[in-house]
Amino acid sequence: MTRMVYVRHGESNSTVARVIGGHRTCSGLSPLGVQQAERLRDRWRDHAEIMPDRILASHFTRAQQTAHIVAEGFDGIDVEVDDRFGEHDPGPDCDGMVFDEFIEKHGTGSWAEDPFGITFPGGETLAAFHYRIGTAIRSLTDTQPESTILVVCHGGVIDAAVRLALRTPSTGGFLLSTLNTSITELHLTEPNKWVMRRYGDAAHLAGLPASTAAAAA
């Protein structure tokens, strides 16, 4: 059985500033995001829920920062950067653009209806994004059987992983809203058969604000 444990990064500066934060412009975690990651680190340090064989982080600064904080809860496990688990790539022209400006200029495009439509001009289609995530997961499960792999990544990545595991369409049907530093756990119990053990477990965030004030405005 391969145990895939996904953690969404802590709240990012990009979210607070309401900008499209691709890997080119990501400036890491907000102060609240750091607190969120520390809460998860302390949770796993105090209670041995999992013991990962590997810890992977996407190449985004916010994911790597989260992963390094969380990894402090496990002795002797290094963080490996794997860019296959990066968020849906907006491309160089849209990366760093203020979100309201993007909507005014490009609208919401095809990101909710058509996986092959253009979401971000010059960026990745949703279909290409899902293919990237699916092949990354398949590569890990093929080469790391009987392992527990912790992947610190992004809401879109977790959405894709869940949809692929449940064999649902890449868009439509339902919505997922994955909280920062929440835990989603999927077990591959036999070839191409996944069992969802938990989604969006964020018990460690109790007492923290849901977001910084600027992000909620």
Domain-embedded: residue 80: yes
Query: Looking at residue 75, what is its pLDDT?
Result: 87
- Total domains in the chain come to 1
CATH of the domain at 181: 3.40.50.1240
Could you tell me the two tokens for 82? 């794997």
Query: Looking at residue 217, what is its pLDDT?
Result: 39
Domain-embedded: residue 177: yes
Q: pTM for the complete prediction?
A: 0.95
Return d(Cα 22, Cα 213) in angstroms, integer.
Answer: 22
Give residue 180's pLDDT band: very low, low, confident or very high (50, 70, 90): very high
Res 113 pLDDT > 80: no
Kindly compute the dihedral angle of the four CA atoms of residues 4, 185, 38, 36, in this order, to the nearest 10 degrees.
Answer: 130
Range of the domain at 57: 2-13+29-90+124-216
Phi, psi of 90 (to 5 degrees): -80, -5
Mean pLDDT over 206-217 rounds to 78
Domain-embedded: residue 155: yes
Specify the residue for token string 């904080």. 69
Res 5 pLDDT > 50: yes
Query: Looking at residue 172, what is its pLDDT?
Result: 84
Query: Looking at residue 165, what is its pLDDT?
Result: 97
Domain-embedded: residue 82: yes
Within the chain, residue ranges assigned H as helices are: 13-17, 31-46, 61-71, 91-94, 99-106, 126-143, 155-166, 213-216
Task: Report yes or no: 200 and 8 within 8 Å, Cβ to Cβ.
Answer: no
Return d(Cα 58, Cα 149) in angstroms, integer.
Answer: 13
User: Please, what is the average pLDDT of the chain?
Assistant: 94
Mean pLDDT over 146-167 rounds to 97
Return d(Cα 153, Cα 194) in angstroms, integer.
Answer: 19
Res 101 pLDDT > 90: yes
Domain-embedded: residue 106: no
Return d(Cα 61, Cα 93) in angstroms, integer.
Answer: 19
Domain-embedded: residue 97: no
Res 168 pLDDT > 80: yes
Beta 193-201 vs 2-8: how paired, if at all? unpaired
Domain-embedded: residue 117: no
